[in-house]
Amino acid sequence: MHTCGLETDRDSMEANEKTKSLETVRTDQDRWIADLEQRLVQCERLAAVGELTSTTTHEFNNILMTILNYAKLGLRHKDDSTREKALTRILDAANRGAKITSLVLGLSRTGSGNFDPIDLVAIVEDSLVLLEKELQKYRIHVEKELSGVPVIQGSAGSLQRLLLNLITNARQAIKENGTIRIIVKHEPKTDSVVLTVRDNGSGIPKEVLPKIFDRFFTTKSGPDASGKGGTGLGLSACKQIIDDHRGRIRVESTVGKGTAFSIRFPVASASQATPAA
Ligand SMILES: Nc1ncnc2c1ncn2[C@@H]1O[C@H](COP(=O)(O)OP(=O)(O)OP(=O)(O)O)[C@@H](O)[C@H]1O
Ligand SMILES: [Mg+2]
């Protein structure tokens, strides 16, 4: 009996050991998965920067051409008014270049970063600066309805990536000649800021809709002529960013008519909205 008891104790000790080692394996696996997820987020961020590099290189070429042509014009003409016009154009082009550089640098900063009070309207305007030439190339008209909104608590770099992904998807769904409508408004009832990106592109079939936020789900055969699309990581990254910001996303789509992504962010509380002195 005694022996039996001892054996039972040993059994339960062995079982405990097993459970412990199983728990250790599970913790190791959890850590490993968390580490991989972290790396994937990092890769998504770098891929977004890589895609932007091709867009911005073209844009910089346009800026340099403008600067070169107006510098030549200013040197050829000695009169004040032509020189003033040339210098103003050069200054505008250089300012645009500086703006693009700072946006790309902001996007490539690692870590989802600190959360700060963010004006979503400014993020929309910045995203459109980055995508302006690309949207023109595909003859896409952008309509904006951006009212003054309260600040939200967020990461400027992540929110910028969210917008770039949504606008790029909208542009790809349209293919060519269409309209993207971007709305930012305050919804007093829920005290939230609502961002809507609506396109009149292909729409999403009912059977595809439940999968669009899955990692690696894509209906695109590969990168398009602008080097974008086809990895199926865009919307899963968007979902992560929205979750990090305690936001909610809603999709409405009709095949042949278009799609609208609406995201609701909670307004920053009074103490969050005041940046530390
Ligand atoms: N505005 C949209 N209109 C129609 N379909 C869309 C739209 N946005 C997303 N989709 C669908 O959802 C899928 C997943 O989108 P997601 O952005 O995650 O990946 P992707 O655009 O295919 O590739 P990438 O990783 O380069 O963004 C797309 O392949 C497309 O089928
Ligand atoms: Mg995409």
Which atom of ligand 1 is the closest one to the Cα of 213? Answer: 18
| Multiple choice CATH, 115-273, 3.40.50.300, 3.30.565.10, 3.40.30.10, 3.40.1710.10 | 3.30.565.10
Residue 62, token pair as written in the block: 């346009």
Question: Does the C-beta of 167 come closer than 6 Å to ligand 1?
Answer: no
- Reported as type and span, the H/E element at residue 187 is strand 178-187
pLDDT of res. 274: 64
pLDDT in tens, 122-160: 999 999 988 988 899 999 999 999 989 999 999 988 899
Residue 203's alpha-carbon distances to 174, 252, 255, in angstroms, are 9, 9, 4
| Nearest one of 175, 171, 158 to 263, comparing CA atoms | 158
Residue 265: Cβ within 10 Å count: 22
Q: What is the per-residue burial (b if ≥16 Cβ within 10 Å, else e) of 46-68? A: eebbebbeebbeebeeebeebbe
Residues 139, 56: Cα–Cα separation, whole Å: 18
pLDDT in tens, 93-107: 898 888 788 777 777
User: What band does 199 get if pLDDT is binned at 50, 70 and 90?
Assistant: very high
Question: Does the C-beta of 235 come closer than 6 Å to ligand 1?
Answer: yes
User: What average pLDDT does range 267-275 have in this prediction?
Assistant: 76
pLDDT of res. 4: 41
Residue 37, token pair as written in the block: 């997820």
Ligand 1, atom 9, residue with closest C-alpha: 169
pLDDT in tens, 161-195: 899 999 999 999 999 999 999 999 999 999 999 99
| Residue 260 scores a pLDDT above 60 | yes
Stronger pLDDT, 19 or 205, i.e. the higher one: 205
Question: Does the C-beta of 173 come closer than 6 Å to ligand 1?
Answer: yes
pLDDT in tens, 15-67: 777 777 777 777 888 889 888 888 887 887 777 777 777 777 877 888 899 99
- Reported as type and span, the H/E element at residue 241 is helix 234-244
* Whether the model pTM is above 0.85: no
DSSP-derived pairing of the beta strands 178-187 and 140-146: parallel
User: CB within 8 A of 80, min separation 6: which ones?
Assistant: none
Q: Is 183 in contact with 143 (CB distance < 8 Å)?
A: no
